């Protein structure tokens, strides 16, 4: 495999590894006249030059993808499964450089970044043995009806900044495994790991099958409007997702949207606090709360509320600020999210809500977009922190007494991505879970999507879905073959 460490220096910062980054078009790296630099969330120092793709770059990539699709769509399942296995090996053989690059752009610890890289390879390995087969839908004496699955064409994948590799590889492998070609646009906050991953993957894929273009919202807008792109998969905010859906209507593109999730966590009165509190703390504070399915609103039964709150405050101290000992915690990943998070804290202070842990900001002169774990006790249901997804380590903890009431409070329109329920009574857990209006509900575990389980949002949290065998259906057309019998 090519080594990313031999590309030469760009002189951005003497402490950075000498790495160059390119857009990837038709199997080749392409430089750009215009660049931007991302800010390291831990140090607030600039990172490497990242190329900015032009409208011409996009047209060239779309032309190359459509040309490649003519051949790639005819590849066999076995050929595609070999290709995704080769990509998985490519990731693992370059785990060190991908770990370093993603660590710097996201602010994650080295341990967490390495886990993300390895998890990305798992996505490819999973689809090495999982594929869609023809289905016999109906048969009688006169007709046999078979459902078969055809690739859509060229996918435009628009990726988020919180888990740039994990969430992007879901889109890439789903497209490749079903015979589609893919052009991916990383978030401008985290362009490096995806650009480098795509460049490395060219050694095992045909030209034009997987390409990468870096740019801002204007590039994403052009992708959603481009007639040569047939399918869009986007992870991000509800407002942007709604705009993408409107744009795609003009050419009737297929669309997958994974959008914001103001996810509820319900702790029942019979919960074992020794087991549950560490799980809930991790669900809320992992990666500083910058997880689409993080526990954003915690509802604890009134009978154990005070004990739960005391233990949660104590547990939150394990998520240390600016300290590698807390491998699962880090700074906010960019200044925009940091300043937005400070607005939530300020709103809590202005309204006199009881902040029982954290609430401070980094002292003046300190570097990094750090916010300590912050816990707010019993804010009202109409509080900003309860109504809106915070995407930060700022956690409201409310109480409840009646099951019907807490279910109704949990089911906000912007809370359709995930939820969690904690009780040793599994019948009760499932009864509650089946009434929650969320695409995935985790029972007695904190929220993390599994590569084998379908994942999609309801209501304002999504459109379509991905992951698991069922997720592949959202990257295909279904064709019905109705065969007359003699």
DSSP secondary structure, 411-474, as one string: --TT--SEEEEE-S-HHHHHHHHTTS--SEEEESS-----TTS-B---GGGEES-BSHHHHHGG
Cα–Cα distance for residue pair 396/412, rounded to 1 Å: 15
Name every residue whose Cβ is closer than 8 Å to that of residue 432 and which is 6 or more positions away in sequence: 266, 268, 403, 407, 421, 423
Q: Is 332 within 8 Å of 341 (Cβ atoms)?
A: yes
Distance of CA 445 to the CA centre of its chain: 19
**Matching residue, tokens 């690739």:** 151
The per-residue b/e assignment along 252-262, b for 16 or more CB within 10 angstroms, e otherwise, is ebbbbbbbbbb
Place of tokens 């392409």: 30
Q: Is residue 258 flagged as an active site residue?
A: yes
Q: Measure CA 77 to chain center.
A: 26
Taking the C-alpha atoms of 267, 268, 273 and 276 in order, what is their torsion angle to the nearest 10 degrees? -40
Q: Which residue has the tokens 């996009």?
A: 58
100 alpha carbon, distance to own chain's centre = 19
**Residue of 342, 291, 236 lying closest to 106 (CA atoms):** 291
Which are the contacts of 82, defined by CB distance < 8 A and separation ≥ 6?
none
> Which string of b and e fits 364-395 if b means at least 16 CB within 10 Å?
eeeebbbbbbbbbbebeeebbbbebbbbbbbb
Name the catalytic one among 199, 258, 315, 447.
Answer: 258
User: Strands across the sheet with 476-484, in order?
Assistant: 135-139, 143-151, 476-484
Place of tokens 């991000």: 236
Name, in order, each residue with C-beta under 8 angstroms of 207's C-beta and a sequence gap of 6 or more.
26, 27, 28, 64, 68
State the Cα–Cα distance between residues 165 and 246, nearest whole angstrom. Answer: 27
Among candidate residues 293, 182, 178, the one with its CA nearest the CA of residue 233: 182
CA of residue 148 relative to chain centroid, distance: 29
Catalytic residue flag (residue 268): no
Of 90, 292, 348, 476, which residue is the catalytic one? 292
d(CA 24, CA 340): 33
| Residues annotated catalytic, as ranges | 258, 292
């Amino acid at each position: 495999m090519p080594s990313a460490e031999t590309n030469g220096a760009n002189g951005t910062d003497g402490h950075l590894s000498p790495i160059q980054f390119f857009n990837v078009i038709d199997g080749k790296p392409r430089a750009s006249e215009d660049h931007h630099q991302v800010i390291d969330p831990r140090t607030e120092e600039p990172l490497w030059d990242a190329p900015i793709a032009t409208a011409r770059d996009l047209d060239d990539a779309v032309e190359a993808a459509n040309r490649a699709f003519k051949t790639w769509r005819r590849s066999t399942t076995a050929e595609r499964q070999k290709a995704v296995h080769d990509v998985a090996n490519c990731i693992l053989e370059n785990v060190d450089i991908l770990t370093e690059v993603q660590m710097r752009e996201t602010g994650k610890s080295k341990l967490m970044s390495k886990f993300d890289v390895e998890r990305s390879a798992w996505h490819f390995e999973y689809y090495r043995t999982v594929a869609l087969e023809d289905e016999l839908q109906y048969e009688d004496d006169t007709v046999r009806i078979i459902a078969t699955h055809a690739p859509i064409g060229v996918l435009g994948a628009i990726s988020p900044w919180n888990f740039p590799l994990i969430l992007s590889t879901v889109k890439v492998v789903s497209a490749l495994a079903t015979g589609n070609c893919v052009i991916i646009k990383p978030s401008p906050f985290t362009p490096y790991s995806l650009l480098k991953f795509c460049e490395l993957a060219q050694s095992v894929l045909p030209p034009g099958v997987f390409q990468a273009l870096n740019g801002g919202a204007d590039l994403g807008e052009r992708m959603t409007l481009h007639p040569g792109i047939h399918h869009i998969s986007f992870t991000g905010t509800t407002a942007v997702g709604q705009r993408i859906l409107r744009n795609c209507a003009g050419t009737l593109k297929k669309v997958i949207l994974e959008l914001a999730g103001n996810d509820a966590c319900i702790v029942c009165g019979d919960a074992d606090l020794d087991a549950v509190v560490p799980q809930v703390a991790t669900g809320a504070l992992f990666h500083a709360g910058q997880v689409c399915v993080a526990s954003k609103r915690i509802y604890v039964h009134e009978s154990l509320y005070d004990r739960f709150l005391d233990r949660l405050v104590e547990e939150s101290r394990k998520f240390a600020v600016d300290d590698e000992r807390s491998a699962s915690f880090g700074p906010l990943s960019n200044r925009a999210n940091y300043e937005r998070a400070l607005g939530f804290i300020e709103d809590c202070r202005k309204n006199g809500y009881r902040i029982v842990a954290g609430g401070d900001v980094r002292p003046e002169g300190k570097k990094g977009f750090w916010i300590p774990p912050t816990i707010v006790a019993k804010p009202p249901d109409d509080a900003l922190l309860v109504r809106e997804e915070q995407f930060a380590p700022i956690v409201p903890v409310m109480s409840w007494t009646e099951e019907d009431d807490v279910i109704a409070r949990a089911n906000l329109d912007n809370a359709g991505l995930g939820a969690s329920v904690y009780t040793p009574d599994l019948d009760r857990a499932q009864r509650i879970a089946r009434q929650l209006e969320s695409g995935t509900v985790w029972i007695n575990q904190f929220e993390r999507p599994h590569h084998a389980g379908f994942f999609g949002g309801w209501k304002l949290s999504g459109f379509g879905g991905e992951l698991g065998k069922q997720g592949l259906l959202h990257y295909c057309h279904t064709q019905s073959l109705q065969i007359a019998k003699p």
